[in-house]
Structure 1
Amino acid sequence: MAPVNPGKVVARRLLDEPQPAPAGWKLSTLDELGPEAFNQIMLRASDGDPYDTSTAESAEDDFRELVEAAGTAFDAGSWFVLSDAHGDVGVVLPQVFPEDLTTGTLFYVAVLPERRGEGLGRAVHAFGLSELARRGARSYVGSTDPDNTPMIAIFEANGCTLS
């Protein structure tokens, strides 16, 4: 079973068949963009997020820690920046667990500050869940801070059971 941080709200669900990305979305992967450009977009996405502690100074180390945590299951073609006709929407890092490839999580899911309030968080999270299924995962486990009501609402909207 995947590790879960104590003191967090834990979300779980079984995964459905993979679905296509929402119409009009452009998908760019870490593999395509390269670490530097990808990191910059992740840092932009974390701006104003009280639950993300990355800074310009720590972003590279934070990113390296995520890659290391992915272990042998890391796939640079499966971490995404999502865009639409209005520009960048957000980022999502679907990751299966190296010790159990049938279970996955989203290492990071965020909507860029200028796109928040448009209802995109649910779609970004749902896309991430679909990508986990595409990689062979059958179940999802995620977590967030108990005060992160927007993320808790996204979990609920996407059919997760909370504990």
Structure 2
Amino acid sequence: MYLIFEHLAAYNQPEEQKFLIGLILMVPVYALESFLSLLDSSAAFNCEIIRDCYEAFALYCFERYLIACLGGEDKTIQFMETLSLTDSSTPLLKEAYAYGIVEHPFPLNCLLRDWYLGPDFYQYVKIGIVQYMILKMICALLAMILQSFGVYGEGKFEWKYG
């Protein structure tokens, strides 16, 4: 909590600090969730759902914090594009140099093509993070509904559990 108050006291870079505070709050949220789960095991499920939702928000805060540190969306895309450019000092062998290219590990490289850093990659990352947030919230809501009907079985793979 001290770190949060220090950032609020020296709030001179709001674009970076508002997302950084969201990230720092992750520690107290996890600690409070763990403590409440220890006190009352029946409330552990609800605390876990809240923690999962905050985890999705913290991932969004991390992405926005990184973009703010790089100077905004346009500068982030420019930065990625400069990594993709090659010059005379670039080695001729592709295997020795893959700067600006995201290569996939073995099983995926047979199915997916390499990703080149730039505006398309940036958009895919943004869309992926938002999709993760939405799916995490939907799954949390489904878990709460299934729990209320008594058919939520975490880690159980049986026909009667959802």
Same fold (TM over 0.5): no
Q: What is the TM-score when the length of structure 2 is the normalising length? A: 0.27
Instruction: Pick 1 or 2: higher relative contact order, CA cutoff 8 A, min separation 6.
Output: 1
Rg larger for = 2
Greater fraction of residues in strand: 1
Normalising by structure 1, report the TM-score.
Answer: 0.27
